[in-house]
Structure 1
Amino acid sequence: MKLLRYGEEGSEKPGLLDAEGMIRDLSAHVADLGGKGLEPASLAALSKLDIKTLPVVSGNPRLGACVADVGKFICIGLNYSDHAAETGAQVPSEPIIFMKANSAIVGPDDDVLIPRGSEKTDWEVELGVVIGKTAKYVTEADALDYVAGYCVSHDVSERAFQTERKGQWTKGKSCDTFGPIGPWLVTKDEVADPQNLKMWLKVNGQTMQDGSTKTMVFGVANLVSYLSQFMSLHPGDVISTGTPPGVGMGMKPPRYLKAGDVVELGIEGLGSQKQTFKADA
């Protein structure tokens, strides 16, 4: 299933995308796509619905973040060997973990705000992993059993805030609107191999990132298992798993986003996003 949330910000309703590309309303069957709504029993019940009987949503509504009420937004740094090389960093021996504030989360096509004082706002297309049941001390062999599905995640970053200011990376990753997720949460049954997905990103029509999850240092199963050794993962938590090469910071000279730039990004089978970058008031 391709699950989604549609409607005005703060008033989104649950829905799904049918085979003809139409949005069908799920409000009568699930309160929202987060927490218990993503647990195996809930997804199993949704999968048994006769899609043709679900109400068609008319028009072209705004799409919200594909997961509601995200508890933890966990990110993995330098998780692609070719991205580590372009930034001059060593490939880590263990996953680099940082948190992105869930207040950064927005819809896949919402405007992204360049924060006050920013001169180094950057792009990063990433595979998002959505947890479907509580995971604690899980093995790598069993880890994918705890995944509800996958989505496109844009880990927008302010590099000066991230690396040149004192402290950790979080403040360069958590600015308002720096976490578009969606358009869909694609359930794991539709993703044969999360380690074999093409991913891309364009700035003003120019391809900047053209990679694949094949070059991840730590794969999805490894990450879910690893994280569960340190914290319980709960339904609706999102893991953003790192980016392939082609970010602005890695260019010579570096290139960063400015007001008016349009960024498009997507992952094979998971849909695409499009954002206009604007200066924050």
Structure 2
Amino acid sequence: MKRGRVSVHGTIFDATEKDGMIQLHDGRLRQEEEVVWLPPVVPETVFALGLNYADHAKELSFQTPTQPLIFLKGRNTFIGHRACTVRPSDVTYMHYECELAVVLGRSGKHIKKEEAYDYVRGYTIANDYAFRDYLENYYRPNFRVKNRDGATPIGPWMVDKEAIQDPMNLELRTYVNGELKQVGSTKDMIFSIPELIEYLSSFMTLHENDVILTGTPKGSVDTKVGDEVVTEIEGIGRLMNTIITEA
């Protein structure tokens, strides 16, 4: 099942997909453009991966990491489907990052990778924009790169894990103004979803609605004001976002 959160005339509704339309939890149906999309979950702790695809690491002329390169993101970064993201006026390079987002469904610590999927609730799409001008070190992205307000569209839907046969074999695609710019597959992750859950839970407790952004493959290019960016993951959906000016 596909689950989401939307706002209609200022009221927030849980929603599901029905015959290509949005069904509010009170049973009413709405078209996609008739609602304001919100992140499909209210995230707790958000973990993001750097250089988790070998081709992306090579693209940036870095060796592949030997352990997960993880940083944290604030809730302020997340916006919904069809929303707008500001390109700061002083930025010369702002690129998208199509990422599979893993939503946890229950708490746990010292989780073995063989049991990791038991702790997963579902999956969604994230577009975790990066502002390279602010990057101090590719191995330790600073806060201005990854914690800007509204710079991480997520959604539209969270898909229940039972609906995804193999999350480690999904195609990722990104389009800019309708032109295909990025193609990759989750099978090329350096650290798999079970490995990431085992690693994180080895030193801290994971909780329901924690989110893991699993990294992006190669193919990120600079985006400009006015660009419409669509990030797409097989079996999960298409997430649309528009870049606007600060003014």
Map of 2:28 onto structure 1: 56
Gapped regions of structure 2 (runs ≥ 5): none
SS of alignment partner, residue 163 of structure 1: coil
CA distance in 2, matches of 1:113, 1:2: 28
Query: How far is 1:9 from its partner?
Result: 9.6
Q: Contact 2:15–2:23 at 8 Å: present in 1 too?
A: yes
Question: Is contact 2:2–2:158 with CA below 8 Å preserved after alignment?
Answer: yes
2:233 to 264, 267, 272: 267
Q: In 2, are the aligned partners of 1:162 and 1:173 still within 8 Å (CA)?
A: no
SS in 2 for 1:91: coil
Q: Please report how far the alpha carbon of residue 169 of structure 1 lies from its aligned counterpart in structure 2 after TM superposition.
A: 2.7
Task: Name the CA distance, whole Å, in 1 between partners of 2:75 and 2:204.
Answer: 17
Residue 155 of structure 1: CA displacement? 0.8
How big is each residue's C-alpha offset from its partner over 1:94-140, in whole Å with a ceiling of 9 and x where there is no partner?
A: 01001122101000210111124222211110000001001211110
| Partner of residue 86, structure 1 | 59
Aligned length: 244
5 Å-filtered alignment, 1:7-156, equals 7=7, 11-18=11-18, 20-26=19-25, 55-59=27-31, 60-68=34-42, 70-156=43-129
Q: Judging changes above 3 Å, is the alpha-carbon distance between structure 1 residues 82 and 22 closer, same or farther for their aligned structure 2 residues?
A: same
Q: Give the root-mean-square deviation of aligned CA atoms.
A: 1.8
Q: How far does residue 245 in structure 1 lie from its aligned partner after superposition? A: 0.7
Q: CA deviation at 1:261?
A: 1.3
SS of the residue aligned with 1:112? strand
Residue of 169, 192, 196 corresponding to 2:165: 192
**C-alpha displacement at 1:11, in angstroms?**
4.2
Provide Cα deviations, 1:118-173, integer angstroms capped at 9, x if missing partner: 222111100000010012111101111100000011111111112379x7433201
In 1, the alpha carbon distance for the partners of 2:9 and 2:177 equals 26
Q: 1:82 to 1:164 in 2, by over 3 A?
A: closer
Distance 1:201 1:168 in 2: 22
Identity %: 36
SS of the residue 2:38 aligns to: coil
**How far off its partner does 1:10 sit?**
7.3
Distance 1:257 1:77 in 2: 20
Q: Kindly provide the amino acid, as one letter, of the partner of residue 275 in structure 1.
A: N
Shift of 1:214: 0.9
Q: Between Structure 1 and Structure 2, which shows a larger proportion of strand residues?
A: 2
Q: Gaps (5+ residues) in structure 1?
A: 28-54, 249-255
On the 8 A contact 1:22/1:56 being kept in 2, the answer is no
CA distance 1:130–1:10, shift in 2 (3 Å): farther
TM-score calculated relative to the size of structure 2: 0.93
